[in-house]
Amino acid sequence: MTTAVNASRPDAPDGAPRLSVAHGPATAADGWDVLARFEHWVRHAASATAVEDGELSWTYAELDALAERVADTLRPRVRPGDLVGVCLDRSAALAATAVALARLGAVYLPLGPRPGDRRLAAVTGGLRVTALVGAPEVLPAAYPAGERLPLPLPVAGANATEAVAAFAPRDRATGTAAPAGSFYAVLTSGSTGTPKAVAVDGAALAARLRWYLDRVGARPGDRHSLLVGVSFDPHVLELWAALCSGGALSVAPDEVRWDPQALTDWWRRAAVTVAILPTPLAETVFERPWPRLPALRFLSVGGDRMRHRPAADVTALVDNVYGPAEATVVATAHALNPTGDAAHGAGADDGDAGAPPPIGLPLDGTVVGVTDASGHLVPRGEPGELLIGGTGLAIGYLDEELTARRFVAPPTGMTGTERVYRTGDRVRMRADGVLEFLGRLDDQVKVRGARIEPAEVEAAFEHDPRVRRAVVAAATGVDGAVRLIAYVLLVPGGPAPAGAELLTAVRGWLPEQAVPAAVRYVDAFPLDANGKVDRAALLAGEVPRETTPPHTPSTAPATKTAPCGSEELVVRLCRTLLDRPDIGPEDDFIGSGGDSLAAARLLAALEEECGVRLRAPEVLRQPDLRTLAALLDGKRTDTPGQSASPAVPAPVAVAARTAPRAAASKAPADGGVLGRVAAHAEASPRGLAVLDGDLTLTYGELTEAARRLAGVLRARGVRTGTPVGLLMPHSVGVVVAQLAVWWAGGHYVPLDPTYPRPRTDAMLADAGVALTLGEKDLLEAAGIPAGRALALSSAGIADTGAPWPDGDLPAPPHPYDPDAVAYVMYTSGSTGRPKGVAITHRGVAGLTVAPDFVTVTPRDRVLFHSAQTFDASPFEVWVALANGAAVAVSTADRHSLEGLARDVERLGVTVALLTTAFFHHLADRRSPVFDVLRGVLVGGEAMSARHARSVLRSHPWLELVHGYGPTEATTFATTHRVRDADCDGPPPIGRPVPGTTAHVLDEHGAPVPAGTRGELWLGGSQLARGYLGQPDLTAERFVDHPTAGRIYRTGDLVSARPDGVLDFHGRTDDQFKIRGFRIEPGEIEHALRTHPRVADAAVTVLRPTPEDARLVAFVVPVDGGHLTVAALRAHLAERLPAHLLPNGWSVVDDLPLAANGKVDRRALAEQPVPGLPQPAGSGEAPDARQALSPIQQAVAEAWARALDRSVDTPDADFFDLGGHSLMALGIVDDLREDVGVELSLAEFFAAPTVTGQAALIEEALLGRFGADVDADGEEGR
Q: What is the mean pLDDT of residues 1054-1073?
A: 82
Distance CA 383, CA 430 (A): 10
Q: What is the mean pLDDT of residues 454-476?
A: 84
Clarify whether residues 435 and 460 are in a common domain: no
For 397-406, the pLDDT digits (tens) are 999 999 999 9
Does residue 653 surpass a pLDDT of 60?
Answer: no
For 741-768, the pLDDT digits (tens) are 999 999 999 999 888 888 899 999 999 9
pLDDT confidence tier of residue 1049, bands split at 50, 70 and 90: very high
Q: What is the mean pLDDT of residues 859-885?
A: 93
Q: What is the mean pLDDT of residues 1150-1154?
A: 78
Share of the chain above pLDDT 70, in %: 84
pLDDT confidence tier of residue 693, bands split at 50, 70 and 90: confident
CB of 968 within 8 A of CB of 980?
Answer: no
Q: Does any domain span residue 1093? A: yes
pLDDT confidence tier of residue 801, bands split at 50, 70 and 90: low
Q: What is the 3-state secondary structure (H, E, C) of 593-628?
A: CCCHHHHHHHHHHHHHHHCCCCCHHHHHCCCCHHHH
Clarify whether residues 435 and 465 are in a common domain: no
- At 1156 the pLDDT is 62
Does residue 817 surpass a pLDDT of 80?
Answer: yes
Distances 439 to 301, 305, 624, 809 between C-alpha atoms, Å: 18, 8, 35, 60
Clarify whether residues 435 and 472 are in a common domain: no
- At 1046 the pLDDT is 93
Q: What is the mean pLDDT of residues 1079-1092?
A: 83
Clarify whether residues 688 and 755 are in a common domain: yes
- At 88 the pLDDT is 92
Clarify whether residues 675 and 775 are in a common domain: yes
Does residue 140 surpass a pLDDT of 80?
Answer: no
Q: Does any domain span residue 279? A: no
- Look up the domain containing 521 and give its range: 453-527
pLDDT confidence tier of residue 103, bands split at 50, 70 and 90: very high
| Low-confidence winner among 75-89, 278-292, 609-623 (lowest mean pLDDT) | 609-623
pLDDT confidence tier of residue 1058, bands split at 50, 70 and 90: confident
Clarify whether residues 673 and 632 are in a common domain: no
Q: Does any domain span residue 387? A: yes
Give the CATH number of the domain where residue 412 resides.
Answer: 2.30.38.10
- At 802 the pLDDT is 56
Pick from 90, 106, 31, 98: which is nearest to 64 by CA? 98
- At 339 the pLDDT is 61
Q: What is the mean pLDDT of residues 362-381?
A: 95
- At 649 the pLDDT is 35
Q: What is the mean pLDDT of residues 1114-1136?
A: 85
Give the CATH number of the domain where residue 788 resides.
Answer: 3.40.50.980
- At 1239 the pLDDT is 84
- At 162 the pLDDT is 67
Tell me, what amino acid is at 932?
A: V
Give the CATH number of the domain where residue 1161 resides.
Answer: 3.30.300.30
Which of 587-601, 1010-1024, 1185-1199 has the highest mean predicted lDDT (pLDDT)?
A: 1010-1024
Clarify whether residues 620 and 506 are in a common domain: no
Beta bridge partners of 368: 22, 388
253 vs 1108: which has the higher pLDDT: 253
Question: Which string of DSSP letters, residue by residue, matches 172-240?
Answer: PP-SBPPPTTEEEEEEE--TTSS-EEEEEEHHHHHHHHHHHHHHHT--TT-EEEE-S-TTSTHHHHHHH
Final residue before a domain boundary, out of 597, 621, 638: 638
- At 1229 the pLDDT is 80
- At 710 the pLDDT is 94
Q: What is the mean pLDDT of residues 726-744?
A: 95
- At 271 the pLDDT is 92
Tell me, what amino acid is at 796?
A: G
Clarify whether residues 768 and 689 are in a common domain: yes
Let me know how many helices (H) and strands (E) the chain has, helices first.
35, 55
537 vs 364: which has the higher pLDDT: 364
Q: Does any domain span residue 557? A: no
| Low-confidence winner among 57-66, 520-529, 832-841 (lowest mean pLDDT) | 520-529
Length of the chain: 1277
Does residue 1018 surpass a pLDDT of 60?
Answer: yes
- At 617 the pLDDT is 66
Q: Does any domain span residue 606? A: yes
Q: Does any domain span residue 1063? A: no
- At 6 the pLDDT is 41
Question: Which string of DSSP letters, residue by residue, matches 782-848?
Answer: TT--GGGEEEB-TTS-B--SSPPP-SS-PPPPSS--TTSEEEEEEE--TTSS-EEEEEEHHHHHHHH
Does residue 903 surpass a pLDDT of 80?
Answer: yes
Q: Does any domain span residue 1131? A: yes
pLDDT confidence tier of residue 662, bands split at 50, 70 and 90: very low
Does residue 197 surpass a pLDDT of 90?
Answer: yes
Tell me, what amino acid is at 707?
A: R
pLDDT confidence tier of residue 337, bands split at 50, 70 and 90: confident
Q: Assign residue 1075 a region (left: φ > 0; alpha: ψ between -120 and 50; beta: otherwise).
A: left
Does residue 666 surpass a pLDDT of 60?
Answer: no
CB of 812 within 8 A of CB of 674?
Answer: yes
Helix, strand, coil distribution of the chain in percent, nearest 5? 30, 25, 45
851 vs 1101: which has the higher pLDDT: 851
Which of 253-267, 497-511, 801-815 has the highest mean predicted lDDT (pLDDT)?
A: 253-267
- At 837 the pLDDT is 95
Average pLDDT across the chain, whole number: 82
* Planar angle of CA 1135, 1138, 1139, nearest 5 degrees: 115
CB of 442 within 8 A of CB of 507?
Answer: no
Give the CATH number of the domain where residue 1262 resides.
Answer: 1.10.1200.10
For 423-457, the pLDDT digits (tens) are 999 899 999 999 999 877 877 777 766 778 787 78
Final residue before a domain boundary, out of 527, 556, 582: 527
Does residue 1125 surpass a pLDDT of 70?
Answer: yes
Clarify whether residues 747 and 677 are in a common domain: yes
CB of 135 within 8 A of CB of 162?
Answer: yes
Q: What is the mean pLDDT of residues 165-192?
A: 82
Q: What is the mean pLDDT of residues 164-170?
A: 79
Share of the chain above pLDDT 90, in %: 40
* Planar angle of CA 56, 978, 159, nearest 5 degrees: 25
- At 654 the pLDDT is 40
Q: What is the mean pLDDT of residues 909-936?
A: 87
Does residue 1267 surpass a pLDDT of 50?
Answer: no
Q: Does any domain span residue 426? A: yes
Which of 228-237, 467-476, 1162-1171 has the highest mean predicted lDDT (pLDDT)?
A: 228-237
Phi, psi of 139 (to 5 degrees): -105, 155
Final residue before a domain boundary, out of 1148, 1165, 1182: 1165
E-strand stretches of 308-444: 317-322, 332-335, 347-348, 361-362, 366-371, 383-390, 396-397, 407-408, 420-429, 435-440
How many domains are contained in the chain? 7
CB of 843 within 8 A of CB of 824?
Answer: no
Q: Angle 34-44/60-74 helices, nearest 10 degrees?
A: 130
Clarify whether residues 782 and 683 are in a common domain: yes
Distance CA 601, CA 609 (A): 12
For 549-588, the pLDDT digits (tens) are 443 333 333 344 445 568 888 998 888 887 777 788 888 7
- At 531 the pLDDT is 61
| Low-confidence winner among 805-819, 1040-1054, 1147-1161 (lowest mean pLDDT) | 805-819
- At 202 the pLDDT is 96
CB of 515 within 8 A of CB of 908?
Answer: no
Clarify whether residues 604 and 499 are in a common domain: no
Clarify whether residues 1095 and 1141 are in a common domain: yes
CB of 934 within 8 A of CB of 908?
Answer: no
